[in-house]
Amino acid sequence: MRHQNHILVLSVSIMYLVGQLTTGTSVYVASLFSVAILFGLYSVWAAGGLFTAVGALNAILIAKFLLIGIVLKIMMWDPADKNLLAADSTAAVMAIGFLGLWIGTSIQRHLPAPRDPFMPQFTDPRMYFALTLVFLVLGYSGYAVGLSPDLAGEGIQTGGALGIARVFGGLKSFAIVPALFYAWARQSSRFMTHPLPLLVLSIGIVGGIFSTAKLEAMEPLVFWLLVGSLRYGLRDKRILIVGAMAALYYAAIVYPYSQYVRNHGGRQGSLSVRLSSMKDALWLVVTDNGFRKTVLEKGEDINSSYLGNETLRPFGRLAMVGQADRLVAATIQQQSWTGWYTVKRGFELAIPSFIYADKPIYAAGNYLGHITGEVGPLDGTTQVSYGVMATFFSAFSYSGVFLGTIVFFGCFYYLLGLFFGNPHATVSPSESTMWFVFIVATFQHSLVEETMAGLMTSWNVFVVVTAMCVMAKFVCPLLPKCAAAEDFD
């Protein structure tokens, strides 16, 4: 790590400390939050820098938990500990947790590993086209198969072929990335407006609206912008304009639509009933400003409570410290330590169903939601997000946060390296850059918000993606040859 990077990390941490103290945050909380920021930023360089996949994930972790939320608090001249139920304890959890992240990241880089990753290697630009077809066809087919029991009124079913189908379905939005890399590798002057990426993007947006989930509705656009920024840079006018339009689309359309339609027929009943509900809700959101305002006023987003500003309600997920605080506070107040329950649940979920037929369906988010009171007593499905660090605190207090984050992140990142190696972001349509985008895009949400139990099932994503690459290897020779850059590695 260079001397300049040490100065940068220390400067940012001190600036956050001064900003918090200026707005009236207690010295204890401000100091611990700043220490957490210090270790969080150091963990980025411990992974090899911001342009490595693990480094980028660590940057997203510290940004979504503290950096963004606290800077918004400072801008609104609010103390950082305002709206926190157990500010002192939550600040301690953040400081200890990000120290554990730094140590775990550092350890896994020095563990022995195979020279070549498990993921098949390739150099032919046609492979990107083949990957686009595989992700598109298998992704949306898997989504349809996984949803079919629910559409038939049989409820949510998991395990076996349905479980595998859901993993495929969760990867459908990534099809836009190899499509863009295909146009990039061909040195197409159109790139982001090439017919193939535009077709895949259109399918992704429509599919996201049908899913009624905010994440799935925005994923294709986020992927499109991420790859575009890798080629043109974040300061490019095209990227800035489209990024601003995407943020407006999310705040004005996607967020109110998703908040309303999920509770008004979009996730219940037959396909025709759902489509009718979605059509009516989408039309009202697009054409009726008063309806949008009503939805936002009535909607309950528990993640927005930390920021304490209605205008920032759609962006409450960028201040996850508030949600972690809810679990920390409830655990202390009720002395409801979960012990090995959440760890055991993770191992149970990770075991294939043909070995463990009666494995649980859901991760621990619903169980923890009952502790905080955010889930109704009869609700056995809703999953609430708290993050890995708060989950470990709920299990084993502060020692659990320290040891748990070291072991968990060390093992998770090591497994990631076994399959993908050490992907870096570069200004070229290389295989390494594509896997960088995949890892960051796939785990930027779940690594922040999932419980440890939910993340322990991630091994099946690695295996399925490896299988999809093998399939693409067989598809690639069947595709016509095209003009391409001679060397794009």
Is the dihedral angle over the CA atoms 315, 435, 471, 157 positive or is it negative? negative
Q: What is the mean pLDDT of residues 125-130?
A: 89
Token duo for residue 163: 């479980």
Indicate the pLDDT class of residue 332, thresholds 50, 70 and 90. very high
Query: Rounded to whole angstroms, what are the CA distances from 153 to 16, 150, 278, 321, 380?
Result: 51, 5, 18, 38, 17
126-151 vs 459-475: helix axis angle to the nearest 10?
130
Burial class (CB in 10 A: 0-12, 13-18, 19+), 446: middle
Residue 149 lies in a domain: yes
CA distance 406 to 99: 8
Number of structural domains the chain divides into: 1
Q: Which domain holds residue 273?
A: 126-319+427-452
Average pLDDT over the chain reads 83
How far the first Cα of the chain sits from its last, in Å, is 26
Report the 10 Å Cβ neighbour count for 384: 22
Residue 107 lies in a domain: no
CA distance 97 to 226: 28
At residue 489, the pLDDT reads 37
Residue 484, pLDDT > 50, answer: no
**Is residue 422 a contact partner of residue 48, using CB atoms and an 8 Å limit?**
yes
Residue 49 lies in a domain: no
Burial 82-117 (b: 16+ CB within 10 A, else e): ebbbbbebbbbbbbbbbbbbbbbbbbbbeeeeeeeb
Indicate the pLDDT class of residue 219, thresholds 50, 70 and 90. confident
Q: CA torsion angle for 148, 152, 156, 159 (degrees, to 10)? A: -50
Indicate the pLDDT class of residue 485, thresholds 50, 70 and 90. very low
Residues with Cβ within 8 Å of residue 328, at least 6 apart in sequence: 85, 86, 89, 90, 93, 390, 393, 394
Backbone angles phi, psi at 482, to 5 degrees: -135, 160
**Which stretch, 126-130, 298-302, 394-398, has highest mean pLDDT?**
394-398
Q: Is 430 helix (H, G, I), strand (E, B) or coil?
A: coil
Indicate the pLDDT class of residue 364, thresholds 50, 70 and 90. confident
The single residue listed with the structure tokens 């409830």 is 330
Residue 20 lies in a domain: no
What percent of the chain lies above the pLDDT cut of 90?
35
**This prediction's pTM:** 0.84
CA angle 150–155–156, rounded 5-degree value: 80
Q: Which helix (H) or strand (E) holds 263?
A: none
At residue 264, the pLDDT reads 59
Residue 103 lies in a domain: no
CA distance 121 to 469: 9
Q: What is the mean pLDDT of residues 300-313?
A: 60
Nearest to 196 by CA among 132, 285, 279, 103: 132
Q: Which helix (H) or strand (E) holds 24?
A: none
Q: What is the pLDDT of residues 55-104, one digit of tens each?
A: 999 999 999 999 999 999 999 899 999 889 999 999 999 999 999 999 99
Q: Is 279 left (phi over 0), alpha (psi -120 to 50) or beta?
A: alpha
Cα-to-chain-centroid distance, residue 203 = 21
Residue 195 lies in a domain: yes
Give the least confident one: 42-56, 243-257, 439-453. 243-257
Residue 23 lies in a domain: no
Q: What is the pLDDT of residues 410-462, one digit of tens each?
A: 999 999 999 999 899 888 888 889 999 999 988 888 888 887 777 887 778 88
Give the least confident one: 146-160, 189-203, 373-387. 146-160
The single residue listed with the structure tokens 């349509």 is 429
DSSP notation for 355-410: T-TT--SS-THHHHHHHHT-S-TT--S------HHHHHHHHHHHHHHHHHHHHHHH
**Is residue 173 a contact partner of residue 220, using CB atoms and an 8 Å limit?**
yes
Residue 386 lies in a domain: no
Token duo for residue 485: 């850059």
Indicate the pLDDT class of residue 263, thresholds 50, 70 and 90. low
Q: What is the mean pLDDT of residues 218-235?
A: 84
CA distance 325 to 456: 23
